[in-house]
Amino acid sequence: MATIKLEVVSPDKMVYSEDISMLIVRSTAGDLGIMPKHAPLVAGLVPQAMRIKKEGTEELIAVAGGFVEVQPEKITVLASAAETKADIDAARAQKSYERAQKRISSKAADVDMARAEASLKRAMARLQVSGKNIH
């Protein structure tokens, strides 16, 4: 099966570097399924659980935001933060989720709604990757 190299880079490390068969990411313009021979592109990413398909298995990586760049031989995800399941502290993500929920539902004048919503999305992505249910 055809593969393409995927590198996921966060500010402090290379989070993932493997040959994969497909990457499914949510860009600011919508969902993208990227397979070998995909046309070159650069797109902004929203907070999400990015899906990687490889040898019949699927792995998730939480991405806080950043960019995806597709070149003929390589996909690069330049992430503001990215974590695999093993790297996620689920309790921290749960607390972050609850904090953001509280801020959003308070509707207080001093709450930066866009910031709270972005924080909520980051926490949801981390909880999804960690396999924990949100409650």
User: Residue 46, interface with ligand ATP (CB under 6 A)?
Assistant: no
User: Residue 22, interface with ligand ATP (CB under 6 A)?
Assistant: no
User: Residue 64, interface with ligand ATP (CB under 6 A)?
Assistant: yes
Tell me whether residue 93 is exposed, middle or buried, using C-beta atoms within 10 angstroms of its C-beta: 0 to 12, 13 to 18, 19 or more. buried
Options 45, 122, 125, 128; binder of ligand ATP; rule CB under 6 A: 122
User: Residue 96, interface with ligand ATP (CB under 6 A)?
Assistant: yes
Where does 1-135 show beta strands of DSSP type E? Answer: 4-9, 14-20, 22-27, 30-34, 41-45, 48-54, 57-63, 66-71, 74-79, 82-84
Region near ligand ATP per CB under 6 A, out of 1-9, 49-57, 69-77, 87-95: 87-95
